[in-house]
Amino acid sequence: MKTSLFVLAALVPLVACAEGRRDGVAGNPPSTATQRAYDRATGSPPTSPDGTGNNPTGTAAERALDRAAGTNTSGAFPRQSDGTRANPPGTAAERAYDRATGSNTSGAYPSNSAPRR
């Protein structure tokens, strides 16, 4: 019985994700079931839908990736999007390749793509 409950509990988030419903819409209340249970158990105010109030855009894992890699996968860090002052176009590897070869694969070095005379 415990094993089947564990399997069921493990599959519920996968099913919810597979449906692709946005957090906080009909049929998918704000936050995760785990977060809602935590909110009830601790007497915390309910966690808001993604991208509002006390619940930023994306999942905690996406936001952790964004903080570590300097990306904006979650949408919570728009200043880290490609093409901004903090994060030029392309990946770090593409920019390193461009610097080493004088190319503009990343799009961060448009002056490298000009014909040389």
DSSP state of 11: H
- Give residue 13's domain range: 1-55
What's phi and psi for 101, nearest 5 deg? -105, -10
pLDDT at 102: 93
Supply angle C-alpha 112, 116, 117, rounded to 5.
155
How many structural domains compose the chain?
Answer: 2
Instruction: Give this prediction's pTM.
Output: 0.39
Same domain for 27 and 11: yes
Residue 9 has pLDDT above 70, yes or no: no
Residue 7 has pLDDT above 60, yes or no: no
**CA gap 86, 79 in Å, rounded:** 7
Same domain for 40 and 77: no
**CA gap 110, 115 in Å, rounded:** 11
Q: Which residues, listed in sequence order, are joined to residue 87 by a DSSP beta bridge? A: 84
Same domain for 82 and 50: no
Lookup: tokens for 31: 């936050």
